[in-house]
Structure 1
Amino acid sequence: MERKSSKIDKKDVQRPPTLEEAQNMLAFADSQIEKLKATGSEDKRLLEYLNQKRDKAIKAIARIEGESKK
C-alpha cells in the first residue's frame, strides 16, 4: 500500500487577498445584495453566500489595514 504524504499541496493553499482584491470583493457583494433586494428575490442561500463573502472582505480589509499601521 502506498502511503499518502502529510505535506500540504501548495496548490491547495490560498494566499490572502490584496487590499484591492478585498475592496473589489466587498463592492461586488454589496452590489449583488442590492440587486437581490431590488428584485425582491427570496433566495436565502444566495443572500447568505453574499453576506459571507462581504464579511470575509471586511475582515481582510481590516487585517490588511491593521498590518499596514504596524
Structure 2
Amino acid sequence: MSESTDVRLRIEAILADHPVVLFMKGTRDAPSCGFSAATVGALNDLLENYHTVNVLADEAIRQGIKEFG
C-alpha cells in the first residue's frame, strides 16, 4: 500500500468516526492561525462537540487532506 493510500485511509477513518471534523492548524483550545481561530469560534457557537485534527502535528495528514479535498 502506498503512503498516499495509507493517509487517505486514515483520513477516511477519522471522518467515519466523527460527524463533524475540523482539520486545522493548532488545537481547539489554541488555534495557530486566524482562519483556524475563526472556524473554531463559529463551530463553538453552533456545536457542543466536534473533533479536531492538528495538521501541524502530522505532515502526512497536512498534505493528504489537501489531496483528499
User: The TM-score by the shorter chain falls in which range?
Assistant: 0.3 to 0.5
Give the number of the structure whose residues are more often strand, by fraction.
2
Rg larger in structure: 1
So what's the TM-score if we normalise by structure 1?
0.34
Would you tell me which structure has more helix in proportion to its own residues? 1
